[in-house]
A and B are shown apart, each in its own frame.
Chain A
Amino acid sequence: GESVGLHLPTLSVQEGDNSIINCAYSNSASDYFIWYKQESGKGPQFIIDIRSNMDKRQGQRVTVLLNKTVKHLSLQIAATQPGDSAVYFCAENRAGGYNKLIFGAGTRLAVHP
């Protein structure tokens, strides 16, 4: 298996429960945020994004919350399924520049039946 997930914080949840993955970002000037999911042996896959003029955005079974005051981002997954097991990364895109993403270290989500 992949070794990139070693030393990551892990969130363990039961199948069917809701999951909340948190992320603190570094730059108050960042204006665009993305959550990626990385399954073993694959590249990061886009889940959902949010712009800095919003504080909440919903997708299918996922919701992203943005708190600019404390520079905090969260990803909520409803009714977590075994297929949600992966490493989740938040990424911030600095304002006014090119498309450079700054990634967090990631959180491993383990879903137990």
Chain B
Amino acid sequence: EAQVTQNPRYLITVTGKKLTVTCSQNMNHEYMSWYRQDPGLGLRQIYYSMNVEVTDKGDVPEGYKVSRKEKRNFPLILESPSPNQTSLYFCASSKGTSEETQYFGPGTRLLVL
């Protein structure tokens, strides 16, 4: 089944404790992206990757890092989480051209205490 998977689905952590949220897609998509979703603000892009070893900032990159060492994986790293990073996070992927639909993972709900 073609899908985007994320782990963990739920995470509670404390301020300053590094964490990684994994994202994997099995559709051989070149483009991958991370979004956060907050009440009243919709989905906002954090980082994106056009292909392996190619990443760039989205609209809200502060406090996040990403890497793209393999085509299928695009982990999101929070080196020192803060409470304002409490949110619902979605990974998405697409074939890569500007008119290709992005497919979303199931989401990771993060609470930073």
In the complex where A2-B88, A45-B104 touch, is A32 in contact with B37 (Cβ < 8 A)? no
Bound-complex Cα distance A106 to B83 (A): 24
Interface size classification for chain A:
20 to 34
Q: B101 to chain A: which residues have CB within 8 Å?
A: 34, 46, 49
For B93, give the chain A residue with the smallest CB separation: A99
* B 67-91 binary contact with A (CB < 8 Å = 1; else 0): 0000000000000000000001010
Query: Contact: A89 with B106, CB < 8 Å?
Result: no
A4 in contact (CB, < 8 A): yes
A69 in contact (CB, < 8 A): no
In the complex where A45-B104, A98-B31, A99-B31 touch, is A4 in contact with B96 (Cβ < 8 A)? no
Query: Contact: B98 with A104, CB < 8 Å?
Result: no
Query: Contact: B103 with A4, CB < 8 Å?
Result: no
Interface size classification for chain B:
20 to 34
Contact pick for B98, options A4, A7, A49, A97, CB 8 Å: A97
* A 19-54 binary contact with B (CB < 8 Å = 1; else 0): 000000000000110101000011111100101000
Q: B31 to chain A: which residues have CB within 8 Å?
A: 98-99
Query: Contact: A96 with B98, CB < 8 Å?
Result: yes
* Closest CB in chain A relative to B27 CB, distance in Å: 13
Q: Which B residues between 1 and 31 are near A, CB-CB below 8 angstroms? A: 4, 31
Query: Contact: B40 with A105, CB < 8 Å?
Result: yes
A78 in contact (CB, < 8 A): no
A85 in contact (CB, < 8 A): no
Bound-complex Cα distance A96 to B50 (A): 14
B34 in contact (CB, < 8 A): no
For A46, give the chain B residue with the smallest CB separation: B101
5 contacts between A and B (CB under 8 A): A3-B39, A32-B99, A41-B107, A43-B92, A100-B58
Interface residues of B (CB under 8 A from A): 4, 31, 33, 37-45, 48, 50, 58, 88, 90, 92, 94, 96-107
Known: A3-B39, A32-B98, A46-B101; 6 extra A-B contacts, CB below 8 A, are: A6-B39, A8-B40, A46-B103, A98-B98, A99-B94, A103-B42
